[in-house]
Amino acid sequence: MPEIKVTPLGAGQDVGRSCILVSIAGKNVMLDCGMHMGYNDDRRFPDFSYITQNGRLTDFLDCVIISFVSNGEKKVLLFCGVLSLPYFSEMVGYDGPIYMTHPTKAICPILLEDYRKITVDKKGETNFFTSQMIKDCMKKVVAVHLHQTVQVDEELEIKAYYAGHVLGAAMFQIKVGCESVVYTGDYNMTPDRHLGAAWIDKCRPDLLITESTYATTIRDSKRCRERDFLKKVHETVERGGKVLIPVFALGRAQELCILLETFWERMNLKAPIYFSTGLTEKANHYYKLFITWTNQKIRKTFVQRNMFEFKHIKAFDRAFADNPGPMVVFATPGMLHAGQSLQIFRKWAGNEKNMVIMPGYCVQGTVGHKILSGQRKLEMEGRQILEVKMQVEYMSFSAHADAKGIMQLIRQAEPRNVLLVHGEAKKMEFLKQKIEQEFHVNCYMPANGETTTIFTNPSIPVDISLGLLKRETAIGLLPDAKKPKLMHGTLIMKDNSFRLVSPEQALKELGLAEHQLRFTCRVHIQDPRKEHETVLRVYNHLKGVLKDYSVQHLPDGSITVESILIQATAHSEDQGTKVLLVSWTYQDEELGSYLTSLLKKGLPQSSS
């Protein structure tokens, strides 16, 4: 039986380090190549030894697919599906094709170089990729368009679908023959102020591999969240406080900037808003270049007004953090793990007038996670204790799908099986049960290094001749589109394609003479009467039961029901037993089986 094997090399019952190995119909595909931020040694990379113990990776893998480059930046590229790519291709060794969308290909080398500078130049780490390795890695990248079917080889094809989430994010369908897998990467089913909602057609894959970061979360109304966010920012600024909003470089940053820009304009507010230097310029460049990836409203108004050129939001200089008076600062990275956002947090944490708003997911171990868990005394570098007096708020503006969004995608794609990755084990278990109960499909959640085998029953497409369709509809009522319809015909396989035609057409095409095949079944009946009397009893019985069928008693003593022939003979050893020979053609298989079972029950005593 055909099977699909899935092994998470990262993101199995874990958040971060996305890397999934899929084997389908003899093809091996690696999905994403992320990194774990909780480690500073080789454990941060996916365990590529699971791919193959012997030989080169290029000989084993048919291709690598990158679903997105994160809204992460610099020190916390947690959800990024690409961070380990130069390490994988240039240091471990892979020379095959790497597929990603055009925006991802444009953004990828810039963010990889940013991350390399932090890790190597500032932290001084070794065993890491170089600038040249990033360039060499990008030469292997093949950019794809949305909804473009790309033929990787003669059998393997892939297709990208819009995923929302961040600029360039895509879901991928991987197809070999009749078997298919859809991999979501990170996606968002809710449209926002600058990106549209994820969309996929009803492709009914054998397996859907979906992220489950927010497996148990159902977010409240987006409008209520935005109103609450604006109210808290406004109140803090009005009382002279400062607001810190730790964000990632692309995605949520633009979303919240558009929100605050519009509010400041409407309310005529004067307090300054700042954004980490350089990032707005980068973002503007990407969004101008790939305007077709934004939502309809931005595309319509882009010629008259670029939504990403902000009047009230200026570039931030680290000296501004000590300025007196109110201000709002968007700073990276988004989890207060390091960098500018952490530096500003340390300066402002001691003043109860100030506020920090965490707009997205925070991984365990980060300062963001600690303060959201209620910690108010933090041990910083050099064992210094930082007392947090500022207000701490969490408002989920994450671009990941929530539980409702995950269920919506399953409803849309109608997969035969579901596999959860990129989530916490307990939350995944809850969602797994919910999926199995609601959709009646198997749901899996393998850990890192654990292989899940899914047996598939591939559906084989068959073309039906127009003549056969016309004949079938002429016989009975028009078929119900939602119910399966049994059709009789001759299956012809030619040039790796299947056609169902009428037997007459098949004989004509193949130049064959017709042979009639009949099935015969023996039914024993206890009846001491003579043979012709038994036949008469059988005839009367069938005439009474089968009122909608043509039942005839022929001169030679046999009975016909449509094309079915019934003859009676005496048993060679027992004269009180009669043997009924029931024969039919394959076209009347159903009726023949019914008649046989009916006669096996015997004849009614009252029949004469």
Torsion sign across C-alpha atoms 565, 566, 572, 573: positive
Give the dihedral sign, CA 334/338/340/346: positive
DSSP E strand boundaries for 177-224:
179-183, 207-211
Q: Which of 211, 226, 393, 472 is catalytic?
A: 211
Going 123 to 125 to 129 to 132, the CA torsion angle's sign is positive
How far, in Å, CA of 396 to CA of 205, rounded? 31
Q: Where are the beta strands (DSSP E) in 73-162?
A: 98-101, 141-144, 149-151, 156-162
CA dist 39 and 45 (Å) reads 9
Distances in Å between the alpha carbon of 31 and those of 171, 312, 446?
11, 40, 15
Collect all residues with Cβ–Cβ distance below 8 Å to 488 and sequence separation of at least 6. Answer: 587
Tokens representing 365 are 């171990």
- What three-state secondary structure class fits 345? helix
Sequence letter at residue 119 = T
| Bridge partner residues of 419 (DSSP) | 209, 444
Measured distance CA(253)–CA(195) in Å, rounded: 12
Give the sheet arrangement for strand 497-501, strand by strand. Answer: 462-464, 497-501, 490-494
- CA gap 171, 180 in Å, rounded: 13
Q: What is the largest CA-CA distance in the chain?
A: 117
| Distance from the first to the final alpha carbon of the chain | 55
C-alpha torsion angle, residues 481, 482, 488, 493 (rounded to 10): 80
- Would you mind telling me the total number of residues written for the chain in this entry? 608
Tokens encoding 10: 């990262």
Dist. CA 37–CA 22, nearest whole Å: 24
Task: Give me 101's structure tokens.
Answer: 């969308």
Amino acid occupying residue 309: E
Give dist(CA 193, CA 380) in Å, integer. Answer: 37
CB-CB neighbours of 317 under 10 Å: 10
Question: Which residues make Cβ contacts (< 8 Å) with residue 131, sequence separation at least 6?
Answer: 113, 116
> Helix 531-545 and helix 589-600: axis angle, to 10°?
120
Q: CA 329 to CA 325: how far, in whole Å?
A: 13
Residue 401 tokens, joined: 């799908």
Cβ neighbors of 123 (< 8 A, separation 6 or more) are none
Residue 589 a catalytic site member = no
Distance of CA 375 to the CA centre of its chain: 37
71 with 286: CB under 8 angstroms? no
* Dihedrals phi, psi of 44, to nearest 5 degrees: -70, -25
- Which residues are annotated as catalytic? 211
